[in-house]
Amino acid sequence: MSHKNPNDLLMMRDESPYPLLLSMLLYGEVSIETVCILNSILKFLPMWDKKIVDTIHYPNVSLKIKKYTPFIKFDPTKYKLILKKELHENSENNAIVS
């Protein structure tokens, strides 16, 4: 899935109560492991905790992400490089399309 701006995945959208990445998690399009790894690198969960107004479903999802994260073993440097490469390729592809 390509987006012109990577923040599109993390920021609140007018048409949805959730950021796109969270919606993708809830619909099974990305795994909780992916969200945990991305949050470990980008630290977006505190922002979501402040901005998401859903008090029924979201608190459980947030808690699940927080509790699951310590059990995921990954090389942060490797995943930062992968993320940087993907963002760079995405920005190049969008520059060509624009």
Share of the chain above pLDDT 70, in %: 86
Task: State residue 98's pLDDT score.
Answer: 46
pLDDT, residue 33, reads 97
Q: What is the pLDDT of residue 3?
A: 54
- Whether residue 75 is predicted with pLDDT greater than 80 in this model: the reply is yes
Question: What is the percent of the chain where pLDDT is above 90?
Answer: 67
The number of C-alpha atoms within 13 Å of 16 and in the hemisphere containing its C-beta is 14
> Is the domain 6-97 a CATH 1.10.220.50 member?
yes
Domain boundaries, the chain: 6-97
* pLDDT, tens digit, 9 for 90 and up, residues 25-58: 999 999 999 999 999 999 999 999 999 999 999 9
Residue 1 has what pLDDT?
Answer: 47
Span 66-88, average pLDDT: 93
